[in-house]
Each structure stands twice: as C-alpha cells, then as structure tokens.
C-alpha cells in the first residue's frame, strides 16, 4: 500500500519481461487492482525510466481509480544509456509492450500512452502500426515541441491516428504551448479530448499559490483517465 493510503487493498504487482525486436529484452511492471476496469500500457519520458517517482505514483493513483497499468522500459533505459533510441526502436517497444499487456490482462479493455516522449512514441506507433485491441491513447504531457521553442512539427502524424486520444496538459508546460495545442485538438475533432491542469508544468507540479498538492493533481489525472477509458470500454 502506498504511504498516502491510496488503496483500500493492495493491488497485484507483477514483474514482467518481454522482447523488443532488434533491441533485446526489457522490463515491465504490472499493477492490477482487484476491481480493474481496463489496462493502460504506459511508457516513460525521455530522461527517467518506469521507476521514476512520477510513474510509480501515477500507477498507484490509477489503480485507486480502477485502472490497471503495465509500465515498461524503453531499450535505452533498460541498458542504462542516456540517449533515447531512434523512433523506429521506440515505436517497436510500444508495439511489443501492447502485446505484452494484452497477454498479461486479456480480460481487460486495452489502452496505451505515456509520459512525454512515451506518449509521443505511442502516438507515432499508432500512426504507423495497428495496435491490436487498443481502444485509445493517453498522453501525460504531450511534448509538442522542445522547451520554449514553440512549433507543431511533432503533431504532424496525429491526424493519422485512428484512435481516440486524451491529452492531459498543464498551463505552464514549456513543451506544449496551449495556444498551439488547442487548435490541433480542435482539428482532430471528437477524436481528441484536452484536459487542462491549471498552473501545472510538464512534470505536473503546480504552483503553491494554486492551493493544490502534487498528490491532488495525480488524483485528478487518474480520475480523468478512468472516466474517459470507461466510456470507451463500453463501446
């Protein structure tokens, strides 16, 4: 159980390993509450792996919101390299992780996504490859452009994604100017849902003046994901 008392009962936690073609074996962690209503395969950001405090806490809060998770390492992080792999290797990892998630919880509706780079590569994978039974993508801070360098090039393939997408973004995110992201979501139409966290940065830290805690933000993220995935799971 987490120190914050998130759970009424301890979810199942299981270590998993799977093969990424041409990149080797990687680690993953399944966190499944007893009342899980879906499984979200989650990829980490560029600079920190699946055991980063944000990824761990997010999995806890998602479990409390009835969302099981399978979070996994990209190959470069598994091999303790600092520079991310090329997109082809990253997207191959997403595809392999989705397959591993489907095998680990075949009874649950399947979703995919991730934090920052992980979300972006999940979108690219969905644009390039069929993602099996995945019903939608969840982006925790979609990195629309490099820090303080507004642009939309990274969104060019989003129009090729044939799945519903949930964008969870902070108003202080230096990697996603909302003046650029909002029109992109508008063009994607009902396929895109944009949920904004006031004063949150790319790591979803909020200003003290907001009166909120990081834990309350994580809870909001988890509840938003739960509500969104439940609607799609019923289709």
pLDDT digits 0-9 by tens, 105-145: 999 999 999 999 999 999 999 999 889 899 999 999 999 99
Task: Answer whether residue 3 shows pLDDT above 50.
Answer: no
Q: Is the pLDDT of residue 101 over 80?
A: yes
What SS3 state is found at 22?
coil
**pLDDT at 165 exceeding the cut of 90:** yes
At 202 the pLDDT is: 96
Give Cβ neighbours of residue 14 (< 8 Å, ≥ 6 apart): 29, 30, 32, 104
Q: Yes or no: say if 99 and 113 are a contact pair by the CB < 8 Å rule.
A: no
182-213 pLDDT, tens digit per residue, is 999 999 999 999 999 999 999 999 999 999 99
Helix, strand or coil for residue 89? Answer: helix
Asked whether the predicted pLDDT for residue 1 surpasses 50, the reply is no
pLDDT of residue 8 exceeding 70: no
Cβ-Cβ contacts under 8 Å for 228 (sequence gap 6 or more):
136, 138, 166, 193
- Chain centroid, CA 203 distance in Å: 13
Please tell me the distance from the alpha carbon of residue 219 to that of residue 61, in angstroms, as a whole number: 6
Q: Which position has the token pair 């992780």?
A: 97
- Average pLDDT over the chain reads 94
Burial class (CB in 10 A: 0-12, 13-18, 19+), 56: middle
The fraction of the chain above a pLDDT of 70, given in percent, is: 96
Q: In what order do the strands lie in the sheet with 165-170?
A: 12-20, 24-32, 67-72, 38-43, 110-115, 134-140, 165-170, 192-197
pTM above 0.75, yes or no: yes
pLDDT at 5: 43
45-94 confidence digits (pLDDT tens): 999 999 999 999 999 999 999 999 999 999 999 999 999 999 999 999 99
Helices (H), the chain: 53-64, 75-78, 87-104, 117-128, 178-188, 214-233
Give the CA distances from residue 167 to residues 11, 153, 160, 180, in Å, rounded to whole numbers and listed in that order: 26, 17, 16, 13
Residues 228, 76: Cα–Cα separation, whole Å = 31
Q: Which pLDDT score, from 0 to 100, does residue 10 have?
A: 85
Report pLDDT for 86: 96
Indicate whether 2 pLDDT > 80: no
Predicted local confidence at residue 234, as pLDDT: 79
Could you confirm whether domain 12-233 is CATH 3.40.50.1820?
yes
């Amino acid at each position: 159980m987490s120190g914050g008392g998130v759970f009424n009962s301890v979810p199942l936690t299981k270590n998993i390993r799977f093969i990424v073609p041409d990149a080797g074996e990687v680690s993953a962690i399944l966190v499944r509450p007893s009342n899980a209503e879906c499984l979200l395969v989650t990829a980490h950001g560029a600079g920190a792996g699946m055991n980063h405090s944000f990824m761990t806490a997010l999995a806890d809060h998602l479990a409390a919101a009835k969302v099981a998770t399978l979070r996994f390492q990209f190959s470069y992080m598994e091999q303790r390299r600092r520079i991310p792999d090329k997109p082809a290797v990253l997207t191959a990892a997403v595809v392999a992780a989705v397959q591993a998630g489907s095998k680990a919880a075949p009874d649950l509706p399947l979703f995919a996504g991730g934090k920052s780079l992980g979300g972006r590569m999940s979108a690219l994978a969905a644009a390039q490859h069929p993602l099996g039974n995945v019903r939608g993508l969840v982006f925790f801070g979609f990195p629309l452009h490099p820090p303080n360098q507004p642009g939309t090039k990274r969104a060019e393939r989003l129009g090729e994604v044939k799945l519903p997408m949930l964008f969870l973004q902070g108003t202080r995110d230096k990697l996603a100017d909302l003046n650029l992201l909002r029109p992109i979501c508008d063009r994607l139409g009902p396929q895109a849902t944009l949920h904004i966290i006031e004063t949150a940065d790319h790591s979803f830290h909020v200003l003290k003046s907001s009166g909120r805690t990081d834990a309350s933000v994580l809870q909001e993220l988890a509840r938003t994901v739960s509500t969104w995935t439940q609607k799609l799971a019923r289709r």
